[in-house]
Each structure stands twice: as structure tokens, then as C-alpha cells.
A and B are shown apart, each in its own frame.
Chain A
Amino acid sequence: MATRKNTPLTIIAIIVFAFLILPLVIITITAFGGENTIVFPIKSFSLKWFANVFNSETFVTSFLLSLKLALLATVLALLVGIPAAYALARHWEKGNTFLKSFFLSPTLVPGIVLGFALFQFLIIILQIPLFIGLLLGHFLTVLPYIIRIVGASMEQVDISIEEVAWSLGCTKPKAFFKVVLPNISSGITSAFMLAFINSFNNIPVSMFLTGPGVSTLPTTLMNYIEYYYDPTVSAVSVILMLATIAIMYLVEKTLGIGALLG
């Protein structure tokens, strides 16, 4: 490690870090408050808000729904996005830029516009079941991330390793699985993580596509805050943070943090 001291830079780094971490610290502390509203600093200690989360059927079912939704949407997007990224990286030299921007367009359109458009089309006109609509919405939201990240790592792979694999006796599909896939696995992992987190946190699209009996965790939280201002919300946040840290730790352990950064 090179030790180079740069005092102004260190101070700025500390300020930014504090700016990022302080709200999380405050939320975590308020989750353990004994009062009926969120106050800081807390005056008494209690774990009842955590109990409240697990006892509340709304939170538990919406959490499970969010989990299922994020997993399904991400896996679907991977199944579509990996072949798409492969095709974009390998073929279609002409019109490639157009297709690339087309696939990325859902990230350019504000989520609320996408949500409203899907609401109009899927729910009002086609009247498809709520969960399917929600799944499609989330699928569309996360697909560009997958194509972007997987595509970026695909471009790092030398096209001739595929040709060599063919010359050594691989059929084209076999070469893809044996030679291309292992070399973009880190890209796929980070795409999965990013897409999953994006879907799990999504509000603008979910807001339009949820309805009676079908609600994601973020929309449930929003609705809850409208009526109650108690530390249950803080408790949910703490649980989510812990879950995220756990996932990050697992990824770090199995693949290294480099995988997440591409």
C-alpha cells in the first residue's frame, strides 16, 4: 500500500462518508425506540417494532411478493438479456447502435411514465392479472441493466476464443456454454445483483401496477407511512439493510467484490 497523505481529500472523504452513513445510523437507532412515533434521540429501548413487522401480515406477504417478483423478473430478464447482449456483441454490425439504444430506452424513460403506460395498456386495456402485469413491468425495468452489464463483459471476451472452440470440435451452442459463459460469469452475477436490487426497491412502476391483495414491500411501506408514523418503518428498513449486507457478504465471499463492479 502506498501511503500518500492528502489532508483536504481525507476531510472531504470523511464528510461524504458521514453524509451517506448518518441517515442509516439514525434510522437504525429509531427502530429501537420505545415511543409511538419516530423520534431521535430515542428515550427508551424496545424491540416491539421488530415484533410488529413479523406479526403484520401485510409486511410479511408483501415482502414475500417482492422477493418472488424480483427473483422472477431478474431470471426472466437474464434469459432474454444474455442472448440479446450476445447477439449485440457478435452480430448486426449495422444498426447496432440503434438497437443498443433501443434496448436501453426503458432506463431513459422516467419510471413513472413507464408505470403509467403499462397501467394503461396492461391493466385497463388488456386486463391481465395484477401479478403478471407487475412482473412484466419489473422485467422491462431491469432488462436494460442486464443487457448493459452482460454486454460490457461480453465485449471483453475475445471473439476468436469461440472460433478456436469450434475448431477444436465444439458446435456453436456448445462453444457458447463452454467458452463464452464461463468468461462472463462475473458480469452475469453483477447484472443479477443490480437487477434484483432495482426490482426489489422499485416504486414508480409498482405504484401503478399493484392493487388489492397484490402489493410490493416498498408500496406497502409507502402506504403505511401515510397512516402511521411509528418506528415499524425503521424496523423494516433495518431488516432490509441487514439482508442486503448479508447478500453482499455472500457475493463477496463466493465471487469477490470485483464481480459486483464488473
Chain B
Amino acid sequence: MAFMDLSDICVSYDGKTNILKELDLSVKEGELVSLLGPSGCGKTTTLRVIGGFIPPVSGTFTLDGTDMTHVPVHKRNFGFVFQSYALFPHLDVRNNVAFGLKLQKMEQSLIDTKVNEMMEICGLTELSDRFPKNMSGGQRQRVALARALVLEPKLLLLDEPLSNLDAKLRISMRLEIKKLQKKMGITTIFVTHDQEECFSISDRVAVMNKGKVEMFDTPENIYTTPTTEFVARFIGFENFIDFTKLEEHTYKAQDGSLFHTDVISVKDQCKATIRPDDIKIINDVNIAENSITGKIIVRTFLGKSYQYEIHTRLGRFLVNGDIEDVHKREEIVTIYLPSNKLILLQS
């Protein structure tokens, strides 16, 4: 059994529509798992179920072998960091960080030691007398983290903690979070809608859609071999073709043309996908397989390449073409889909 287990979780606000539908998620101890998805996919709801702010209609949540489903928030000992940081405006940094320890009726000297240590780790020592309104976003972020971590929580829950920071700070903060997390070995759930952020920080990523986990794997696997059309679209695959299986590595498209793939589909009917970067525009019209001819409809300049929208018998394709080999609008071209770049989706 995994360290943290969500099984069969359903959440509904009005009793009719389910925000989460039989959601399952298993997280290992010390792992940093991200919940990634578009807004409304249920990622924040999942985090709030784990945190205890939303009671699930059904399903169980276990942590380290104990059933936590109905444990009230204040008895869970999970650290929660909000998007807005939610620092206490009436307390200075030191007292914000000490807040949880004081509630535990701990000895003052012990509180001081722990708070000082945590402020040191988070680089807050010089700010200890500041009030939240006099601090920058990055500093507030660190206070929110320190306040949660000083209690040595069993789980750290982060709800889009970086989305209020500017781009540069976001990158350095996510490194800091990852370092802290590994150093303390604390199991962490991280909610975000930012792909790059999520891939760079996570051990594993759960891509969510409509209240379900679509795919749960390492960032590398999600990026290279998505298993569902939703995940593929979400991480930048733009081109989809319906295939009928002929042989293990040979598939027929709707117009009868043949495509070879390196991967194998378990089903007879499947969808193939490929990134715009991986399609090549070729001048050699003699390559019969894995290629299709079409007309360029739109050309957009992307900086490092041109993107073409090409209409073919198999529908619309987005292709990123070499900056040195420019094609014009209305031009008829042949595009080549390399067999090692074609990915077959399970659903």
C-alpha cells in the first residue's frame, strides 16, 4: 500500500454534478507529485479534499495506513500553502512562523529554536520583524512555506504557490521548493496549471481532466508518450489521425495510406498523434509511406521556426518548419511523419 492513497473519491457541491469522479491517486513517501490540468479539472478540489477542507461524498483517503477521510482539518497536521499565501496580517514574520508551534503549547525556548532554524533555512532571518504588508511576493511565499514546514507536517500541500510571482522569481522559487522538499523528505502535493513548472519540479505528475486522473506518470513519460488524447493535446500535440491496425507496426489511415510506427497499439482502432516539431516537410514526393500531401493555408512566424497550417485528405496538420526552408501560402507540400515520432493513444 502506498504512503498516501485516495481511492474512489467523489465530490459534489450540489448533489447532482460530480466535481471529482471516482478519483484514485497513490503517492509514495517523500515523493513530490503534481496535479496538472486546465482550470475546472478538479485539481484544487482534490488538494482541498486531502487538506480536509472539503468532505468527499464517497471514497476513502488513507495516509500511512490510517484512515484520514473524516479527520478534521486541525487534527491532520498537513502544511497548506495557498495561492494568496494567506499570511496573518496582524503578525510579523516570526509570529507567523511560530503560530502553529504556539498552539501546541510548546516551551517558548523550543519554539524559538525551531522558528529560528526554519527562518534560517528559508532565508527569512533578516525579515523576522517585518509585517506581511511590507514584503514582496517572493518573501511572503517563503514565510508561508516556513510557517507550514516548521510543524514538520506529514504532507505538504501547495495550491498554485508560484502563480502570483513574476517569471524569473517563479523559476528560482520552484528550485528552492524542490530543494527544501528533498532535504526534508516531505511528501508533497503540488497543484499547478503551468506545464513547465510542473515538469521541472515533480517526481510524478497526475494530469487531470473533468474530475479524473487521465494519466499518472513521470514528467518524461508524460511528455514523450501520452496515453490519452486529452493529455496529448494538453502537452502540445496538435496533430491527430485515426488508424486501423493492419499489422503490429503497420496502420491504415482513413484514405487508405499506410503508416509505420515503432510502437504497438493493443486495439484495432486507435488514434495516432505527433508534435508539430516532429513533422518534416519534404520535397521528395517518392516517399509513399508515412507521408501525405497538402496545401499550406496559414503561415505564422514563431521566432525559431515557421508554423504552417496544412490541409490534407486526413484533415488539418500543424507543422513547424525549418527557418531556412521557407514555404509560401497556397503551396502544395508533402509532409513526412517519422515512424519513431508517431505515438498511439490508448483512448
In the bound complex, what is the Cα–Cα distance between A8 and B125 (angstroms)? 53
A112 to chain B, nearest CB (A): 42
- B234 located at the interface, meaning its Cβ lies under 8 Å from any Cβ of chain A in the complex: no
A169 touches B89 (CB 8 A): no
B104 CB to closest chain A CB (Å) equals: 7
Q: Is the CB of A163 within 8 A of B103?
A: no
Would you give the 0/1 interface string for A164-192, flagging 1 where the beta carbon is closer than 8 Å to chain B?
Answer: 11111111001000010011000000000
Some 24 contacts from A to B, beta carbons below 8 A apart, are A160-B84, A161-B87, A161-B89, A164-B86, A164-B88, A164-B147, A165-B99, A166-B52, A166-B53, A166-B72, A167-B51, A167-B52, A167-B76, A167-B80, A167-B148, A168-B74, A168-B99, A168-B103, A168-B148, A169-B74, A169-B100, A169-B104, A182-B88, A183-B88
Chain A 176-213 residues near chain B, CB threshold 8 A = 179, 182-183
Q: Is A167's CB under 8 angstroms from B84's CB?
A: no
Partner of A163 from B53, B75, B144 at Cβ < 8 Å: B53
**Interface pair B74/A160, CB less than 8 Å apart:** no
A-chain residues with CB within 8 Å of residue B103 when the two chains form the complex: 168-170, 174
A166 to B89 CA separation, bound complex (whole angstroms): 16
Is the Cβ of B73 less than 8 Å from the Cβ of A179? no
**Chain B residues close to A by CB (< 8 Å):** 51-53, 72-80, 82, 84, 86-90, 99-100, 103-104, 144, 147-148, 151
A189 to B90, CA, bound (A): 16
Query: A169 to chain B: closest CB distance in Å?
Result: 4
CB distance from A8 to the nearest CB of B (A): 38
Closest Cβ–Cβ distance, residue A259 to chain B (whole Å): 14
Q: Which residue on A lies nearest to B53, using beta carbons?
A: A163
Q: How far is the CB of A106 from chain B (nearest CB, A)?
A: 32
Q: State A30–B278 Cα separation when bound (angstroms).
A: 95
A158 interface contact, C-beta 8 A:
yes
Residues of chain A within 8 A (CB-CB) of B74 are 166-171
Cα separation A171 to B76 with both chains bound (whole Å): 12
Give Cα distance in the complex from A120 to B90, angstroms: 47
* A residues near B77, Cβ cutoff 8 Å: 169
Q: When the two chains form their complex, are residues B100 and A163 in contact, meaning their CB atoms are under 8 A apart?
A: no
Q: Is B147 touching A168 in the complex (CB atoms < 8 A)?
A: yes
Question: Chain B residues near A179 (CB, 8 Å)?
Answer: 88
Decide yes or no: A168 and B87 within 8 Å by CB, A163-B73, A163-B80, A163-B82 being known contacts: no
- Number of A residues near B (Cβ < 8 Å) is 16
B147: chain A residues within 8 A (beta carbon): 164, 168
How far does the alpha carbon of A160 sit from the alpha carbon of B76 in the complex, in Å? 17
List the 6 shortest-distance A-B pairs measured between CB atoms, nearest first: A168-B100, A160-B86, A166-B73, A167-B80, A182-B90, A169-B103
Q: Is B80's CB under 8 angstroms from A164's CB? A: yes
**Which of B52, B79, B90, B147 has the most chain A CB within a 10 Å cutoff?**
B90
**Is there contact, CB below 8 Å, between A183 and B89?**
yes
Contact of A164 among B72, B75, B76, B82 (CB under 8 A): B82
Nearest A residue to B104 by beta-carbon distance? A169
* B265 vs chain A, min Cβ distance (A): 45
Contacts A160-B86, A163-B86, A166-B52 known; 11 new A-B pairs at CB < 8 A:
A161-B86, A163-B80, A163-B82, A164-B82, A164-B86, A167-B79, A168-B100, A168-B147, A171-B72, A174-B103, A183-B88
Interchain CA distance A163-B75 in the complex, whole Å: 13
Determine the distance from Cα of A183 to Cα of B151 in the docked complex, in whole angstroms.
24
Q: Of residues A160, A167, A182, which shows the largest number of chain B Cβ atoms within 10 Å of its Cβ?
A: A167
A183 and B86 contacting across the interface, CB-CB below 8 Å: no
Q: Shortest beta-carbon distance, A153 to chain B, in Å?
A: 12
Give bound CA distance, A261 to B314, whole Å: 68
Q: In the complex, what residues of A have CB within 8 A of residue B88's CB?
A: 161, 164-165, 179, 182-183
In whole angstroms, how far apart are the Cα atoms of A167 and B75 in the complex?
8
- In the complex, A165→B76 CA distance in Å? 12
B62 CB, nearest partner CB in chain A, Å: 19
Most buried by A among B76, B77, B80, B104: B80
Q: Give the residues in chain A near B99, CB-CB below 8 Å.
A: 165, 168
Q: Which residues of A contact B144 (CB under 8 A)?
A: 164
**Cβ contacts under 8 Å, A183 to chain B:** 88-90
CB distance from B269 to the nearest CB of A (A): 46
- A170 CA to B74 CA, complexed, in Å: 6
- What's the Cα separation between A174 and B103 when bound, in Å? 10
Q: How far is the CB of A127 from chain B (nearest CB, A)?
A: 48
Residues of B within 8 A of A170 (CB): 74, 103
Bound CA–CA A168/B75 (angstroms): 9
A174 contacts which chain B residues (CB < 8 A)? 103
Q: Which residues of B contact A161 (CB under 8 A)?
A: 86-89
Closest to B89 in A: A183
**A90 CB, min distance to chain B CBs, angstroms:** 13
Closest to A181 in B: B90
Q: How close is A57's CB to chain B, nearest CB, in angstroms?
A: 47
Give A171 to B52 CA distance when docked, in angstroms: 13
Please name all residues of chain A whose beta carbon is closer than 8 Å to the beta carbon of B100 when the two chains form the complex. Answer: 168-169
Q: What separation, in Å, do the CA atoms of A158 and B79 have in the docked complex?
A: 18
Taking CB atoms, residues of chain B closer than 8 Å to A163 are 51, 53, 73, 80, 82, 86
Min distance, Cβ B76 to any Cβ of chain A, angstroms: 7
